[in-house]
């Protein structure tokens, strides 16, 4: 899963929303109040995981009333326990709690980690680049350790390394459940290998945690789903509703060879909106203001990279012009950073839904903050107040607005030669109430005046925006373009959480509660709150929009345990075995609950 860690600085002045002191959620802050807020809202960042939407989706929380009173701001589903397969579910619940099963789980995930499956930004064609061959041994491993899955489910390999497992249900009229994950992991930087507590591909188990690249992102999701299916088959379960396992192999590099090809097959087989719901990697749960809150992602922000390129005449550096291409580019980049995108908090934004859930169910939320959030439901003045508070916190601000990050700069080839070309790449994560087009228009508008100042012909995304050098002989050219054609991504449609179309969300919510309770031997208790959430990065679900309106980014990882999340994409990635077994329990429970649902 792609994650984003945000650098944070202490905001100045009083704030209802204290600023983060650290780049990741759930870290200690200097003040108790700030720490509580980070715990209550910061979990939505997990990394690593959640969201996006389009203008046409309307209010996520239902129609806004004038008085705003009496509305269910964060309605909760009941605990959902399988009935028809209740005996099997209870039997599996006991099994999942045994030491013998824990050992199996350690072996399953540890062995998967020991098969490196790195994906790289510069991978060539499947038939030409030998680095793709790493996935062959991983397929052999899965075949060896999940024999019942391979005996029972039909496996189709899509585009060589994509894995599509189909567990055919007895009722073909029921839309299938799709569980998605990805096989690939981000590469381990060779210079950091000696910094790992245990070698990055050791799959080492220290009695509490499994160590290694992919243990958390995302082999835990892939192996967790397979483990759940293997356990159900061992228990004699035969599905009524078809279950599909779809595992891409290049999610970390945008999924164009893996998930995109898998979805083409699924669309051909099941048709548009032919799937009941899709569950892919995403958010987790943790304690927030005295309440345990799970945050399934119901959307994702958009994505685009802008290339800013300046071309000027070359020559000997002993006779320089007033501005070289590098100097001009530097001025352009300063202008960008001086004019960031405007923050606008919308009631359509999934982050706003999260705030409402915190206000509704956070037992220890300060009343002043609770009042502001609740009043914003019907008061635009309160909404603006909340917006201003969010703007003081870099983490929350980045979740709401369109962001810009200048990540790459290049120019020049020699000390005594004038640079003929200089360019930079600006990465954008597009707000859920904006679009790629609006983002590109903003990029063009900000620097149009500088193009005239430096007497450059100006072409922005294929459109010439200036007459030839503004009526004077040209001093060069300025070009804005899509840095990676074909990868720009609009904000995702928001998954319904209210009304007639909310049944899949309610099913997921009830499953989360049942899993949480059974893992802790809670009987009939409603101990966990489920809130719509959003992630800053993107997942393979970018390709699933046509397949289902009900897409959830959720991994059921205990992010608040202190042992759940483990250094995704960096040194010492790891996962607690207790958290992994709970993930397996979640997948098995979800399959059983979906199988008994008749209105998906």
Just list the catalytic residues: 184, 251
Res. 595: pLDDT tops 50: yes
Please check if 569 is assigned to a binding site: yes
User: Would you state the pLDDT for residue 29?
Assistant: 34
Count the alpha carbons within 13 Å of 464 in the hemisphere toward its beta carbon: 8
Res. 151: pLDDT tops 80: yes
Which CATH number is 86-282+535-596 given? 3.40.630.10
Give residue limits of the domains in the chain: 86-282+535-596, 302-341+402-482
Res. 35: pLDDT tops 80: no
Please write the tens of the pLDDT for every residue from 368-393.
Answer: 999 999 999 999 999 999 999 899 98
d(CA 39, CA 364): 12
pTM attached to this predicted model: 0.85
For residue 316, the 8-state DSSP code is: B
Please check if 349 is assigned to a binding site: no
Please check if 550 is assigned to a binding site: no
Q: Which of 61-75, 316-330, 501-515 has the lowest mean pLDDT?
A: 61-75
Phi, psi of 568 (to 5 degrees): -60, 135
> Pick the residue with more confidence: 292 or 24?
292
d(CA 403, CA 441): 14
CATH for the 302-341+402-482 domain, from 3.40.50.1370, 3.40.50.300, 3.30.70.360, 3.90.1750.10: 3.30.70.360
d(CA 417, CA 11): 44
Average pLDDT of span 240-263: 97
Q: Answer whether 220's CB lies under 8 Å from 566's CB.
A: no
Res. 8: pLDDT tops 50: no
* Nearest CA among 315, 283, 314 for reference residue 583: 283
Res. 209: pLDDT tops 70: yes
Average pLDDT of span 532-561: 91
SS3 544: coil
For residue 340, the 8-state DSSP code is: P
SS3 514: helix
Please write the tens of the pLDDT for every residue from 563-587.
Answer: 445 588 899 999 999 999 999 999 9
């Amino acid at each position: 899963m792609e994650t984003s860690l945000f650098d944070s600085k202490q905001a100045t002045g009083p704030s209802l929303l204290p600023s983060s002191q650290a780049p990741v959620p759930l870290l200690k802050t200097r003040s108790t109040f700030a720490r509580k807020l980070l715990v209550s809202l910061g979990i939505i960042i997990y990394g690593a995981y959640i969201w996006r939407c389009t203008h046409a989706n309307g209010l996520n929380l239902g129609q806004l009333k004038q008085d705003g009173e009496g509305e269910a701001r964060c309605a909760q589903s009941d605990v959902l326990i399988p009935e028809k397969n209740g005996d099997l579910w209870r039997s599996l619940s006991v099994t999942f709690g045994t030491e013998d099963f824990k050992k199996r789980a350690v072996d399953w995930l540890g062995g998967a980690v020991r098969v490196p499956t790195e994906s790289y930004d510069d991978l060539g064609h499947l038939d030409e680049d030998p680095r793709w061959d790493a996935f062959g041994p991983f397929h052999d491993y899965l075949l060896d350790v999940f024999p019942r899955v391979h005996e029972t489910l039909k496996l189709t390999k899509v585009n060589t390394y994509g894995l599509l497992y189909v567990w055919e249900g007895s009722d073909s009229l029921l839309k299938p459940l799709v569980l998605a994950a990805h096989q690939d992991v981000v590469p381990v930087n060779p210079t950091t290998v000696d910094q790992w507590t245990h070698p990055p591909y050791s799959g080492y188990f220290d009695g509490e945690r499994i160590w290694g690249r992919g243990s958390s992102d995302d082999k835990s999701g892939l192996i967790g789903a397979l483990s759940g299916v293997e356990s159900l088959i061992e228990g004699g379960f035969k599905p009524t509703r078809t279950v599909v396992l779809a595992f891409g192999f290049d999610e970390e590099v945008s999924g164009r060879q893996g998930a995109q090809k898998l979805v083409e097959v699924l669309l051909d087989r099941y048709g548009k909106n032919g799937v009941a719901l899709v569950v892919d990697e995403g958010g987790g749960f943790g304690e927030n203001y005295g309440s345990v809150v799970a945050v399934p992602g119901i959307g994702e922000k958009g994505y685009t990279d802008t290339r800013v390129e300046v071309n000027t005449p070359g020559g000997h550096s002993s006779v320089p012009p007033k501005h070289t291409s590098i100097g001009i580019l530097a001025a352009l980049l300063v202008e960008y950073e001086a004019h960031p995108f405007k923050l606008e908090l919308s009631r359509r934004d999934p982050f706003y839904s999260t705030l409402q859930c915190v206000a509704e169910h956070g037992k220890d939320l300060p009343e002043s903050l609770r009042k502001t959030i609740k009043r914003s439901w019907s008061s635009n003045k309160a909404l603006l107040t909340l917006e201003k508070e969010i703007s003081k916190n870099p983490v929350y601000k980045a979740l709401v607005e369109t962001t810009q990050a200048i990540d790459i700069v290049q120019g020049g080839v020699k000390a005594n030669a004038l640079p003929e070309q200089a360019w930079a790449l600006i990465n954008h994560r597009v707000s859920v109430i904006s679009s790629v087009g609006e983002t590109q228009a903003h990029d063009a508008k900000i620097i149009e005046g500088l193009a005239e100042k430096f007497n450059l012909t100006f072409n922005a995304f294929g459109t010439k925006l200036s007459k030839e050098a503004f009526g004077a002989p040209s001093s060069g050219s300025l070009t804005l373009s899509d840095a990676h054609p074909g990868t720009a991504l609009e904000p995702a449609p928001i998954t319904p959480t209210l009304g007639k179309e909310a049944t899949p969300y309610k099913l997921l919510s009830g499953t989360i509660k049942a899993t949480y309770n059974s893992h802790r031997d809670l009987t009939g208790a409603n101990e966990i709150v489920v809130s719509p959430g959003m992630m800053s990065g993107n997942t393979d679900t970018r390709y699933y929009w046509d397949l289902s309106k009900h897409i959830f980014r959720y991994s059921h990882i205990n992010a608040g345990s202190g042992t759940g999340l483990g250094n995704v994409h960096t040194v010492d990635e790891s996962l607690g075995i207790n958290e992994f077994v709970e993930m397996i329990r979640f997948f098995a429970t979800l399959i059983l609950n979906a199988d008994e649902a008749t209105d998906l």
